[in-house]
Structures are given as structure tokens and as C-alpha cells.
């Protein structure tokens, strides 16, 4: 199916090339799933990617979780993700001033060289987005920022006022790919979609077929409902990598999310 037909208004309204790329990948894979690859060794990362790569559209990393991280293997890992037609998303949650965020995209992990997407809090002001975009320019690459407008964890301090301020600032910014919404609550996602309009992505963590409370304050909502409420990508970690059969679980999340998009 053509991305234009599957995504309708989102395709028509999105102006960022990276958003169009994601929508096309999602159509090729028939999946709106971003795997949260929260593993702790390079071998586990490779194993997980090899087993679920065909059912996901993006790969979310926490590069600093990996105990035996090294540059050579990481580059090989990112090349494998590219061969599997995936966007690479480092969930770094940048929050410093613009010039430091720019430099934090370098350093030992050199995130600017391999990430297509990163997360940022807007708590320090709008220059964090410019800093991150400057870093991708330094690497002669393009990328997109997902701003944390909501979070899935209980007791978080992202109040409705804060959310609307983030959305107002991010909506107009060409460096902003979209927003992170609280996938554990369909009403929150719906409210966020109303604020955001159709022009930017909403990606949602806090999604699991088994809804309810997770570990250490995490909360989970239903994947189908999240997409119907306006999420463009469900971010799933333990629902996939913690399942008895991760490949089967990933395929199930893919099917649910793709069906929901077509119904939406
Ligand atoms: P889980 O195993 O599906 O609970 O993993 C969720 C992932 O999404 C994990 O990597 C978190 O860092 C990430 N996350 C989240 O859970 N909630 C949020 O609000 C944000 C990110 Br932002």
C-alpha cells in the first residue's frame, strides 16, 4: 500500500522528510512498532534485532545501557538496522542548553553519526532543538527531535500546562519531528493529538498488550487504542523483548498497530 493512502492526512500535512521516511518504512513493514531495545550487551542487541527486525519500523536505543559497548560493533549493529529498513532512535532525553546538547551528540557514543531521531526535554528552552540540529549538520546528516510532551511514568511532572507550552513551541519548529505522548492513557494521547494537529508525529511509550501497572512506576495502555487515539508509533520494550517468543510478540504488535492505522 502507498504511504499516502495509509497515512492520509498525516502524509498530506507532514513537511519533514524524516516523517515521510518513517511513514514509508511503516508501510513497507506493515508495522507502527518501535522496539525499545533495552538490552545490556552487544550480543543481546544483535540477537534481539535479528529475531524481530522484520516486524518493526524503528529501533529505539539507550546506548549507555550496554556494558560492553564499543564503536566497531555499534557501527555494525547500526548497519544491520539500516539493512533491516529501520530508523534508529536514541532515547537520550537531552535537556541541557543548546551548545552543550550539540556537543553531547558527539563524545564517545557520537550519537549524531548514527541516530535518525533523538528525544529531548524542552525544560531548558527551545535552543536545545537548535543544538541537536546543529550537531547533525556537523555530521552532514539529517535527523529529527521528538520532544517529551507527556511521559508514561506515574507522578511525572509534565503538567497539562507544560505539555501545551511544549507543543506550541515544537509545532512550528522544522527541527521537531514530533512529540512523545503517554501511551498508557488513550485520553491523554487524544488530548495531545488535538493540541498537536496533524502536522507532526506522536510516538507513544507505555504500551503493552497486558495493560496496567509495570515495573517501578511504568504504566501500560493498549496498543490498538493508542493508535486509534492518534499515536503514529507504539514504542514497545518488555512487551516484545520480555516475551517468551519475541519474534511472535513483535509480529502481534505489528499486526495490531497496522490494523489500527488502516481503521483510523
Ligand atoms: P517498556 O519495557 O515497554 O516499559 O519500555 C519502555 C521504553 O520507553 C523504555 O526504553 C523507556 O526508556 C522509554 N520511555 C518510557 O517508558 N516512557 C516515557 O515516557 C519515555 C520513554 Br519519554
Q: Could you give the CA distance from residue 147 to residue 167 in angstroms, rounded to a whole number?
A: 8
pLDDT of 40 above 90: yes
Predicted pLDDT at 87: 98
Does ligand 1 lie within 6 Å of residue 19's CB atom? Answer: no
pLDDT of 103 above 90: yes
Q: Of 93, 86, 37, 85, whose CA–CA distance to 61 is shortest?
A: 37
Predicted pLDDT at 171: 95
Predicted pLDDT at 160: 97
Per-residue pLDDT reduced to its tens digit, 216-245: 999 999 999 999 999 999 999 999 999 999
Is 8 a residue of the active site? no
Q: Could you give the CA distance from residue 174 to residue 14 in angstroms, rounded to a whole number?
A: 10
The three grid cell numbers given for residue 244, joined into one nine-digit string: 517468551
Domain tally, the chain: 1
Mean pLDDT estimate for the chain: 97
Q: For the chain, where are the alpha helices, taking DSSP H only?
A: 3-7, 9-13, 17-29, 42-52, 71-83, 98-104, 127-138, 160-171, 186-196, 223-228, 238-241, 246-263
Q: Could you give the CA distance from residue 222 to residue 129 in angstroms, rounded to a whole number?
A: 31
Predicted pLDDT at 101: 98
Q: What is the CATH number of the domain that holds 11?
A: 3.20.20.70
Predicted pLDDT at 188: 98
In DSSP terms, which residues pair with 219 in a beta bridge? 213
Domain holding 232, by residue range, is 3-263
pLDDT band at 15 (very low <50, low <70, confident <90, very high): confident
Per-residue pLDDT reduced to its tens digit, 104-135: 999 999 999 999 999 999 999 999 999 999 99
pLDDT band at 5 (very low <50, low <70, confident <90, very high): very high
pLDDT of 52 above 90: yes
Phi/psi at 87 (nearest 5 deg)? -80, 145
Q: Could you give the CA distance from residue 59 to residue 39 in angstroms, rounded to a whole number?
A: 12
Per-residue pLDDT reduced to its tens digit, 75-95: 999 999 999 999 999 999 999
* Residue 247 near residue 55 (C-beta atoms within 8 A): yes
Per-residue pLDDT reduced to its tens digit, 178-221: 999 999 999 999 999 999 999 999 999 999 999 999 999 999 99
Which one of 20, 29, 60, 93 is the catalytic residue? Answer: 93
Read off the pLDDT of each residue in 44-54 and give the average, rounded to a whole number: 98
What is the Å distance from ligand 1's center to 2 Cα? 30
Percentages helix, strand, coil for the chain (3-state, rounded to 5) are 50, 15, 35
What is the Å distance from ligand 1's center to 206 Cα? 6
Per-residue pLDDT reduced to its tens digit, 124-169: 999 999 999 999 999 999 999 999 999 999 999 999 999 999 999 9
The pick from 208, 237, 238 for probing ligand 1's pocket by mutation, whose C-beta has the most ligand atoms within 8 angstroms, reads 237
CA angle (6, 198, 53) in 5-degree steps: 45
Q: Could you tell me what percent of the chain has a pLDDT over 90?
A: 98
Does ligand 1 lie within 6 Å of residue 240's CB atom? Answer: no
Amino acid at each position: 500500500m502507498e504511504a499516502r493512502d495509509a497515512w492520509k492526512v498525516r502524509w498530506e500535512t507532514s513537511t519533514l522528510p524524516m516523517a515521510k521516511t518513517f511513514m514509508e518504512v511503516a508501510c513497507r513493514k506493515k508495522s507502527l512498532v518501535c522496539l525499545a531495545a533495552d538490552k545490556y550487551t552487544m550480543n543481546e542487541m544483535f540477537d534481539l534485532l535479528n529475531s524481530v527486525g522484520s516486524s518493526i519500523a524503528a529501533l529505539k536505543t539507550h546506548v549507555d545501557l550496554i556494558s560492553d559497548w564499543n564503536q566497531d560493533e555499534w557501527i555494525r549493529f547500526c548497519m544491520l538496522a539500516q539493512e533491516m529498513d529501520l530508523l534508529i532512535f536514541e532515547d537520550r532525553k537531552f535537556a541541557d542548553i543548546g551548545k552543550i546538547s550539540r556537543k553531547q551528540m558527539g563524545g564517545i557514543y557520537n550519537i549524531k553519526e548514527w541516530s535518525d531521531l533523538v528525544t529531548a526535554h524542552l525544560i531548558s528552552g527551545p535552543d536545545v532543538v537548535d543544538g541537536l540540529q546543529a550537531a547533525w549538520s556537523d555530521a552532514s546528516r539529517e535527523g529529527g527531535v521528538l520532544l517529551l510532551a507527556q511521559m508514561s511514568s506515574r507522578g511525572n511532572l509534565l503538567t497539562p500546562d507544560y505539555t501545551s507550552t511544549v507543543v506550541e513551541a515544537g509545532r512550528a519548529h522544522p527541527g521537531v519531528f514530533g512529540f512523545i505522548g503517554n501511551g498508557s492513557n488513550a485520553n491523554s494521547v487524544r488530548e495531545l493529538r488535538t493540541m498537536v494537529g496533524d502536522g507532526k508525529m506522536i510516538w507513544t511509550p507505555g504500551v503493552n498488550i497486558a495493560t496496567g501497572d509495570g515495573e517501578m512506576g511504568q504504566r501500560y495502555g493498549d496498543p490498538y487504542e493508542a493508535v486509534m487515539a492518534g499515536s503514529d508509533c507504539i514504542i514497545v520494550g518488555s512487551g516484545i523483548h520480555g516475551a517468551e517468543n519475541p519474534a511472535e510478540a513483535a509480529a502481534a504488535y505489528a499486526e495490531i498497530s497496522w490494523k489500527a492505522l488502516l481503521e483510523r
